[in-house]
Structure 1
């Protein structure tokens, strides 16, 4: 049974994420500091709220540096919603420095008549670069979004899925190295979201630790 560390910095929908993984037979370990990461095989960085307050909490608790060290060591992490945005270098939403684990900036969604912000509701994913989250040939997946910002990666190849917003294909999920992340909420996306989390857990089962 996989031991998944759920990073708790006071701004995540932790209960629904925890329940989603427990339904898939994973053990979920609350992570409030670096020491709590040690027994974990992978981390999940959730998030609901604004970029700057989230980064302030991560930095003040020591979780920001601990998460950077974790990923620098080649250990796996999955970001969800704001958790995806925090992986990047900066955001239009504030002035704080992000975790900087992925190159690029989080940008405000375009304001277009007839397309309210936040972007909220069910949308189909548009496949991009295949990844363990969304392998080539994956079935169509409708997933649930609530967001006002979207990542703009420096390397477009790290985008594994996009979604249409106001006629523009914006980032919906990323994958680079051992880091994956979803702008949408897989834990609230029914069977499609459960299948995505199951694929991530299966990838954890199949991967080898660095140096193994």
Structure 2
């Protein structure tokens, strides 16, 4: 089954496309509402700021089809900023998110958690991510799996049962979410070598 990668000017489409192909999947970029409505599996990448990304989705008419496909049960995976766009809102911007996994995105606040206030923001580099429950997309990612992160904000789902992965940077935060067919990971699987390849392979095979 082909993975349709949303192309809206703010994601590493080429890197994700190549990684999907490396793990034996088929992938293609999509940037129009019509192409997106024909998708049977969707990956939403994203880098940069929340409002810019949401504005781009709206300008290309992709926000509505994304919500439609999620409602239809089509597997949808958001990565990095793409995961944050699944939220209801973000402290980084004023625009509402897609609202597919209700929650808010907030900036790291080490002082609130009595954590090391000397930690740098953004959180950048390799870090662990541990599954808090079973799901096909994290199959084979044993404890100790490490991924590449670059972010200043993290997801706080309204419903704790939507949490899929957790990581620690000063304090524990949600690094993966899943509600029915909608998933998201805060890290960059396309930059995370064998563990990222396993996760993308799992998604391509859903």
TM bin, normalised by shorter chain, reads: over 0.9
Q: In structure 1, how many angstroms separate the alpha carbons of the residues matched to 2:159 and 2:53?
A: 25
Are 1:7 and 2:6 an aligned pair? Answer: yes
| TM-score normalised over the length of structure 1 | 0.90
Q: CA deviation at 1:163?
A: 0.6
Give the counterpart of 1:114 among 92, 97, 118: 118
Paired residues of 1:13 and 1:48 also in contact (CA < 8 A): yes
Alignment: residue pair count: 201
Instruction: Judge conservation of contact 2:176–2:185 (CA < 8 Å) in 1.
Output: yes
Output the CA distance in 2 between the equivalents of 1:136 and 1:201.
14
Tell me if 1:152 matches 2:156: yes
Structure 2 portions without partners, runs of 5+? 111-115
Mapping 1:82-101, distance limit 5 Å: 82-101=81-100
Instruction: Find 1:143's aligned residue among 147, 151, 170.
Output: 147
- In the alignment, which residue of structure 1 is the partner of 2:203? 200
- Greater RCO (CA < 8 Å, at least 6 residues apart): 2
How far did 1:38 drift? Answer: 4.3
User: Unaligned 5+ residue runs, structure 1?
Assistant: 205-212
Displacement of 1:136 in angstroms is 8.5
Change over 3 Å in CA distance of 1:137–1:123 after alignment to 2: closer
**2:68: which partner in 1?**
69
1:37 Cα deviation after fit:
2.2
Alignment RMSD:
1.5
1:178 aligns with 2:186: no
Does the CA-based 8 Å contact 1:5-1:31 persist in structure 2?
yes
Could you give the per-residue CA deviations for residues 135-177 of structure 1, whole angstroms, max 9, x where no partner exists?
A: 48834201110000000001111111111011x1101111110
- Cα distance change, pair 137–191 in 1 and its aligned pair in 2 (3 A): closer
Q: d(CA) in 2 for partners of 1:106 and 1:201?
A: 27
Q: Structure 1 stretch 28-37 or stretch 91-100: which is displaced more?
A: 28-37
With the length of structure 2 as denominator, give the TM-score of the two structures: 0.93
CA deviation after TM superposition for structure 1 residue 39, in Å: 4.2
Cα distance in 2, alignment partners of residues 136 and 195 from structure 1: 7
Whole-Å separation in 2 of the counterparts to 1:4 and 1:198:
11
In the other structure, the counterpart of 1:164 is: 168
